[in-house]
Structure 1
Amino acid sequence: MTSDTGSNSGEAAGTATGIGKGSGICDGRVVIVTGAGRGLGRAHALAFAAEGARVVVNDLGVGLDGSPGADSPARQVVEEITAAGGEAVEHAGDIATTEGAASLVHTAVDAFGRLDTLVNNAGFLRDRMLVNLDEDDWDAVMRVHLKGHFLPLKHAAAHWRAQAKTGRVPRARVVNTSSGAGLSGSVGQGNYSAAKAGIVGLTLVAAAEMGRYGVQVNAIAPAARTRMTEAAFAQAMAAPDSGFDAMAPQNVSPLVVWLGSAASTGVTGRVFETEGGRITVMDGWRPGPSADKGARWTPAEAGDATLKLLAQAQPPPAPHGAQ
């Protein structure tokens, strides 16, 4: 799979990539990052390695629309990490298949003897207005984003549950990748928005089900300049350098690294927006104004009550791109 938010081309190795000596917050941990060949996934892999983690770098090397690619960006990231003194291995399997997701977990255990953190990040775009959206475009995006989250999570969770049942309860972490499109919608991205909203639901269920086995599951909704967002952030890309590149993918990775570390104990079932230097805890769907007749409404009564409730409620945020 390609990174959920594509590539940030032209970055050099070294400080610009995030390679360097960190605080060691992930010393000894083994981390899987899907879609880690470019963009956010690459930034996450490098950041985990800088903090002492051993990293499984997954990427199919496909194009922005999911078409096959000729290069191996995952191997390049592995080489960056090992050149800087870290440990990493490549996984080029399709994590939206049972075989690929299972082999992803096996790769971590076979290479490093354990698995501590899974970062689900892989994805691509097939943007169309709804009336122009083909069934294949819908299915492809759902497959990679939503199924590509579910299957690695399923196999990693089964591994950790088996550990817990032997009495060795892990301090395992999962970080899923949603989007602002999944939280409030995005015009021209019905398939992507639906998949990203589904990832939030999956995150909440996994956090509730897996907590007893020592697994914490959270999600981020990042904003950064990558292949998938370069058109949206073209203005930001062209802005004069202010000394802080707010749209750099590397800005998102510190939160992901912390959520993927043992230091985040007790944080689970949460969704965070992150962009530049800002982190926001999302409140999600919470009950608003309510009315109870104590009996069945007539349609007219239900309409009158609903209009009164809407007058008391906060309006929802407009979808991205709405006029």
Structure 2
Amino acid sequence: MAEAAPAPMPVPEVAIADAAALDVHLRDADRPFVVRGLAADWPLVRAGRTSASAARDLLLGHHRDRPFTVSVGQPGSGGRLFYDAAMQMNFRTMEAKLPEIFARIHAFAGQPDAPAIYLASIDMHQFFDGLHEANRIDLGTREPLASIWIGTRTRIAAHNDVPHNLAVCAVGRRRFTLFPREQFRNLYLGPVDHTPAGRAVSMVDFHAPDLAAHPRFAAALAEAQVVELEAGDALYIPALWWHHVEGLEDFNVLVNYWWRDAPRWLGQPQEALHHAMMTIRDLPADQRTHWREMFDHYVFAADADALVAHIPAEGRGVLDPMTPALAARIRAYLLRALSR
């Protein structure tokens, strides 16, 4: 008999009185939390509680007449947007107008083997007029990217995102299973360059985890948290936390806000990881050890001032504190080096 997977813990819930209280929680939290009913007064939430058709009509009343990128899965896949047996995507990505997409979603409603239809990370400002203004969370001085996710019953493999994330279930229901950052080793990540949506994903099927093939997944589940969001509920996901996401109704809408603590002019760590794979990973072991120590010294040093105390201030170059000008200089150097 196969060993049973441990059950995840619930995500803690907090009460929020106003935008100021939300700001405090977002600044202080280093773990996920749920706010029930945070967006209960949104017109989109109220429409969705009436019917899926009412929610679609509201969205169509705001949409711009332009093509939307949509992913369409295979019939009978259970809504899982993932790899097929040949490690190719089991879904097609195409462009269509929103009324056409919604007509397909309506036509498949109630069919158990219907293909997943999924609009992922649609910029609310670029693709809708007035939707964000009528349905938004006050995040104070943060300048988030506001995105909307629309689709049928879907299963999105566990992945992480670089920014912080406030995810608001606007229509339908969603289930999130979350893991701390350090659990990546126990999630059995797939390719880092050939991915469903730009981030490496867990290869474990959360609906049928095979602990014989993925024994460390049990350790990940022991640290996992799970929550089911109803319409109007919000979930905070700290930067780089892993999350598996399921749309549980025939029609689901999520609005999320992404923001980073780091300034926008800093580069992306994922790009540095790819460059390190190219330049360091296949070196002889003794050289890899040396470069690990160099990275610890120059990148992960606890006392940055000690690195430069012996160098005159005017000669510290890239060892100086990072600024937009210095970041631009480093970027130009890298572009020249990579073009050779």
Superposed pair shares fold, TM > 0.5: no
Which structure has the bigger radius of gyration? 2
The higher relative CO (CA closer than 8 Å, separation ≥ 6) is in 2
TM-score (norm 2): 0.28
TM-score by length of 1: 0.29
Choose between structure 1 and 2: higher helix proportion: 1
